[in-house]
């Protein structure tokens, strides 16, 4: 997760949106999803399929988007095939990773420090000791790798399974399973994980969930709070996988979302596009 960055002004755009309500796995994409989203103990059977391509192409990227609005039990997808396909979560796993570290006692709280134990490198905040809060904000790989080693593969695997996170597979539990696999999760499952995390349906204490929620603030305005985490993972057919997943709190309303970007040549601008695309779509769908 990154600290709040000033957003570039976005021009007002009038768009035409194509809406279709279809059985899950049908629609503009012929490939059926490989994993259906679960809402509680039941599966979603219909979704609103939206044509949101222009918001991705405006930033020069391709991808997918999924959203769940609990108030109307409304599930929205752009590119249903990709929304049901599992990809490595990258640093978005940091949400569950932090919860596991806190619940298991490996981390004592947001201020839990770890010293950088590697060779000195010129410049960069990653050369100094960091807290859990700073590591989540910066998606600092070495910090979470050390947490994974302290948690251990057996305990990590058990927690991932208990949380019902994606395919639940961590392989031999090395310190890159969330980047290179075998751990994988679909946009639909990201959304459902967020819903269950916020709703207290995961095997974590209220204090752990409250701490994780606090760690995930991306933006806070008088109108809304945007919480989430970014991530980057291995390639999919030669394209890098970039994520932005989280939820919007606006009064009593909640909107859980997952933005997936696939890019053959990701740059800093491509990474920034995650927030731009997400803002555009959340506004169109009435979440912002």
Catalytic residues, by residue number, are 91
State which H helix or E strand residue 269 sits in.
helix 268-284
Distance CA 159, CA 31 (A): 32
Mark 38-52 as b/e (b = at least 16 C-beta within 10 Å): bbeeeebeebbbbbb
How far apart, in Å, do the first and last CA atoms of the chain sit? 20
Q: Considering only CA atoms, which of 197, 279, 268 is closest in space to residue 232?
A: 268
Cα–Cα dist 178/62, whole Å: 22
**Tokens encoding 91:** 């640093």
Q: Are 71 and 38 in contact (CB under 8 A)?
A: no
Asked if residue 165 lies in contact with residue 188, where contact means CB atoms within 8 angstroms, the answer is: no
Name the residue among 209, 255, 259, 257 with its Cα closest to residue 231: 259
């Amino acid at each position: 997760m990154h600290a709040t960055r000033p957003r570039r002004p976005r021009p007002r755009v009038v768009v035409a949106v194509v809406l279709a309500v279809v059985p899950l796995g049908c629609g503009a994409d012929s490939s059926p999803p490989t994993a259906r989203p679960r809402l509680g103990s039941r599966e979603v059977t219909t979704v609103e399929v939206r044509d949101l391509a222009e918001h991705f192409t405006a930033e020069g990227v391709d991808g997918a988007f999924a959203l769940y609005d609990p108030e109307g039990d409304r599930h929205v997808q752009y590119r249903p095939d990709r929304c049901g396909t599992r990809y490595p979560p990258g640093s978005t796993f940091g949400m569950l990773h932090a919860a596991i570290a806190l619940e298991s006692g490996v981390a004592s709280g947001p201020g839990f420090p770890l010293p950088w134990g590697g060779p000195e490198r010129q410049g960069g905040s990653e050369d100094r000791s960091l807290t859990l809060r700073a590591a989540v904000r910066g998606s600092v790989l070495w910090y979470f790798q050390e947490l994974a080693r302290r948690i251990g593969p057996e305990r990590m695997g058990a927690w991932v399974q208990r949380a019902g996170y994606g395919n639940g597979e961590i392989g031999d539990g090395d310190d890159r399973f969330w980047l290179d696999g075998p751990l994988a999760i679909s946009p639909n499952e990201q959304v459902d994980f967020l819903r269950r995390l916020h709703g207290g349906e995961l095997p974590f204490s209220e204090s752990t969930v409250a701490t994780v929620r606090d760690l995930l603030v991306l933006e806070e305005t008088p109108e809304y709070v945007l919480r989430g985490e970014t991530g980057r993972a291995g390639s999919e057919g030669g394209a890098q996988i970039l994520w932005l997943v989280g939820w919007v709190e606006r009064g009593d309303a909640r909107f859980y979302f997952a933005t997936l970007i696939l890019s053959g040549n990701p740059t800093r601008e491509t990474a920034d596009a995650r927030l731009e695309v997400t803002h555009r779509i959340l506004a169109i769908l009435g979440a912002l």
